[in-house]
Amino acid sequence: MIELSAAEVAAATGGRLALGQHAPTDGTGVTVSGSVVVDSRLVEEGSLFVAVPGERVDGHDFAASAVGRGASLVLAERELDVPCVVVDDVAVALGLLAKDVLARLRAANDVRVVAVTGSVGKTTTKDLLGALVGPQGPTVVPVGSFNNEIGLPLTVLRADDATRFLVLEMGADRVGNLTYLTSIAPPDVAVVLVVGHAHLGVFGGIEAVARAKGELVSGLAAGGTAVLNADDVRVSAMRALAPGPVRTFGTIPSADVRAQDVVMDRGSHASFTLRALADDGSALSAPVTLGLVGEHHVTNAVAAAAAALELGVAFDDVAARLSGTAAASPHRMHVVERPDGVTVIDDSYNANPDSMRAALKALAVMAGRDRRSVAVLGEMRELGETSRAAHEEIGRLAVRLNVKLLVAVGAGAGGLHDGATQEGSWGDETVAVADTDTALALLRDELRPGDVVLVKASNGAGLWKVGDALVAPAAQGGAL
């Protein structure tokens, strides 16, 4: 982060200095020169520690430890026996601080902000964008899925005077989320991927999801460009919300940047011809082969390509960098070939019906006709009244894709097992287990050389534990 005095932090957040005997009361003796963190274990010399009160852990309890580790200032909701700025709401204050810092950076430097949203693909696309624009200059990209009212400001506050590109992931689980996030960091380029069936239990319907995602377009900075998916009619309709230029991506011929002649190999890697128009109207094309697993990543790749072109990256560089990029964030279509001949596809970070379908299709492609496909699936959360039907449909899809063994993990995933049974799966082809420990015990007995195993569920279902356990043996000779 750029260096700020305690007084400047207080002014940006509307807070009150409470430095006690530790420094002059005007804050001139306390300076934040390090990172901004919410985890006291990540403190470095000169950090600002943000004491976020949580349901299980209250950051205020770790303020003294943070200062002991080197933090120079604490952002808090009550006065503490350490140098702090006291505010009414720490999360709101963190957003205000990020907004102030970004405004300072934009006034002093040529920093470009690009933001990505969508029901699926946000994290992969922001990782791709980081790889595409990173060689052009210093770039800040979110860690993991830092895409909410805490994670986004923390990402913004990693930027400094040298930063040229700030890549942001913006998530929403209700209408209004993206209006808030874009008020902190109005993007110069806004990428909308897909309007899908995530968080329907909160949104109440897919049209509400579309309204929420459209807030990213409405929140563009002056003169900013909307980059929209031409293959998704709800995303294409957001053109009406754009205050400035619109660029499209997809696979249909009318898309400004598109993938043509998509072909999948046995590893479920997509190859295609990337096409776009040069500024003079001439046609540009180049071959691309993705290191990412799954045909659904074609959408993420062309979205990242369209945004990178808008940010000034040369077309040939975009194509070359796409071909050299693999998965960067954990538990997202992460493929490991174990020494015992078992292939693990760990996509356990999150799930909704759209991403579950894409992952199952990738499993089917990788297994082909000569390897056994195993799907270890857990609950897809926040689907509301559609939950049971959605789980049953995924169970039926697993059978239609000829998945040889379906393991439904946890009570919330029972619909997966029922759907598979309804579609005609029987005997040992589908099984429901109570928890991850039981699933691992089953897999320990069942897996054999040549199997391809997909692990996927919403993060709260905890199947990442299964993914970790299946992958860990890769360094131990393949014994689960």
CA distances (Å), origin 330, targets 72, 245, 297, 321: 32, 34, 16, 20
- Contact indicator for 335, 343 with CB cutoff of 8 Å: yes
Residue 301 has pLDDT above 80, yes or no: yes
For residues 480 and 70, which has the higher predicted lDDT (pLDDT)? 70
- Contact indicator for 395, 386 with CB cutoff of 8 Å: no
Which pLDDT tens digit goes with each residue over 50-101?
999 988 899 999 999 999 999 999 999 999 999 999 999 999 999 999 999 9
Compute the average pLDDT of residues 339-365: 92
Taking only Cα atoms into account, the Rg of the chain, rounded to an integer number of angstroms, comes to: 24
Structure tokens at 110: 């040529």
Indicate the DSSP class of residue 220. Answer: P
- Please state the φ and ψ torsions of residue 424, each to the nearest 5 degrees: 115, 0
Residue 360 has pLDDT above 70, yes or no: yes
Structure tokens at 271: 């190859």
Residue 26 has pLDDT above 70, yes or no: no
Q: Residue 447 burial by CB count (10 A; 0-12/13-18/19+): exposed, middle or buried?
A: buried
Residue 201 pLDDT: 59
Helix (H) / strand (E) containing 228: strand 225-229
Helix (H) / strand (E) containing 251: none
3-state class (DSSP) for residue 480: coil
Which pLDDT tens digit goes with each residue over 149-184?
999 999 999 999 999 999 999 998 888 999 999 999
Structure tokens at 312: 């000034």
Residue 268 has pLDDT above 80, yes or no: yes
Q: Give the sheet arrangement for strand 430-433, strand by strand.
A: 334-337, 343-347, 452-456, 373-377, 405-409, 430-433
Residue 32 has pLDDT above 90, yes or no: yes
Compute the average pLDDT of residues 410-436: 89
CA distances (Å), origin 385, targets 202, 237, 389: 10, 27, 8
- Please state the φ and ψ torsions of residue 376, each to the nearest 5 degrees: -105, 100
Closest CA to 73 of 27, 104, 105: 27
* CATH numbers and ranges of domains, the chain: 4-89 (3.40.1390.10), 109-323 (3.40.1190.10), 334-472 (3.90.190.20)
Which pLDDT tens digit goes with each residue over 110-143?
899 999 999 889 999 999 999 999 999 999 999 8
Structure tokens at 463: 């199947």
Displacement of CA 247 from its chain's centroid (Å) = 22
Residue type, 252: I
**The whole model's pTM is what?**
0.86
Confidence of residue 195 (pLDDT cuts 50, 70, 90): very high
Residue 475 has pLDDT above 50, yes or no: no
Distance CA 161, CA 383 (A): 43
